[in-house]
Amino acid sequence: MALKLFDLHCDTLTECFRTGKSLIRNDLHLDIRRGLGFERWVQCFAVWIPDEVRGDEAVSLFEGAADLLEREAARCPALRLIRSSADLDALRPGECGAVLTVESGAAAAGSLERLSGMVRRGVRMMTLTWNGENELGGGVRAPGPLTPFGREAVREMERLGVIIDLSHASERLFYAVAEETSGPLAASHSDARALCPHPRNLTDEQFCLIRDRGGLVGLNFAPPFLSKGKARRGDVWRHAEHFLALGGENVLAMGSDFDGTDLPEDLRGVGDMEALCEDFLRHGCPEDVVRRIFFENAYNFFHSL
């Protein structure tokens, strides 16, 4: 079947900003030219804030990467910035719809005003932390609570329509956010801890909470999250199958983590997404469910904001 792809997370924008490479054509896991043959394509481009970057330096990193995305879109007609449901509706075959996201709320530097400014620049989704602590709370390697500013921030994100992304959150932070909020939650790039006991993966209880809140979970291609041994492309299906058994047919999506991780040797980048789709079909996943996982669940979720 012709592939429609909506990928919830890649670090390609940050890598291009860091190295000076072009988002349009490069030697990374993903560039625009390699995906333009998809029937439809929406790609979330994350601005990653490392744990050692805080304050004004974090703000500058965000602004610089967001500027780069806007410049690349201005010079490449096939790259369309997605800031609203109307922009999604206007997306045509042969275009990449680019959604700006943030990986670590440190980009706001502890300021609700800066958070609002990020939204004005087009941010649609934000992880609260990376692996360490920041102004909002504790990441998976530093299991602190949701801070007082974090409580203000998640309430403001709900008000502004920014998706609260709980990939990288500690369990303590995960459940604190669930108690503090009432709307849908997401984990843009996380797998199943029941299959691979990595702390970045979701427990079944966490997945079901996201499911029951009408949320979204993107399957991550990072080998340490896929398997305790040598990861292969087929491991992505194993994690999908597990989540589907938990009632995830309307929850699952893709969350590749391209250019933010190493990859299995048989899943080298965006050019192998059609082969991954064929894997799902070959394992007996119904075509309508495959379409939901690769595109429709994420498209409908973002369209409803």
Closest CA to 137 of 111, 104, 163, 107: 104
Check residue 174 and give its pLDDT.
Answer: 97
Closest CA to 299 of 2, 98, 5, 12: 5
pLDDT at 206 over 70: yes
Check residue 305 and give its pLDDT.
Answer: 86
Query: Tens of pLDDT along 106-142?
Result: 999 999 999 999 999 999 999 999 999 999 999 999 9
Amino acid making up residue 252:
L
Amino acid making up residue 157:
M
How many Cβ atoms sit within 10 Å of the Cβ of residue 162? Answer: 22
pLDDT at 297 over 80: yes
pLDDT at 2 over 90: no
Confidence of residue 144 (pLDDT cuts 50, 70, 90): confident
Q: Which tokens belong to 216?
A: 């979204």
What's CA 223's distance to the chain center, in Å? 17
pLDDT at 46 over 90: yes
Check residue 261 and give its pLDDT.
Answer: 98
pLDDT at 10 over 70: yes
For residue 157, the SS3 value is helix
Q: What is the mean pLDDT of the chain?
A: 97
CB–CB of 279/237 below 8 Å? yes
Domains of the chain plus CATH, in order, are 4-303 (3.20.20.140)
Confidence of residue 143 (pLDDT cuts 50, 70, 90): confident
Q: Which tokens belong to 132?
A: 């360490």
Check residue 58 and give its pLDDT.
Answer: 98
pLDDT at 193 over 80: yes
CB–CB of 191/225 below 8 Å? yes
Sign of CA dihedral 191, 45, 42, 180: positive
- Alpha-carbon radius of gyration of the chain: 18
Q: How many percent of the chain have pLDDT more than 70?
A: 100
Confidence of residue 1 (pLDDT cuts 50, 70, 90): low
The residue length of the chain stands at: 305
Amino acid making up residue 216:
L
Query: Tens of pLDDT along 213-268?
Result: 999 999 999 999 999 999 999 999 999 999 999 999 999 999 999 999 999 999 99
For residue 256, the SS3 value is coil
Check residue 88 and give its pLDDT.
Answer: 97
Spatial distance between the Cα atoms of 193 and 79, rounded to a whole number of angstroms: 35
Amino acid making up residue 59:
V
Check residue 230 and give its pLDDT.
Answer: 96
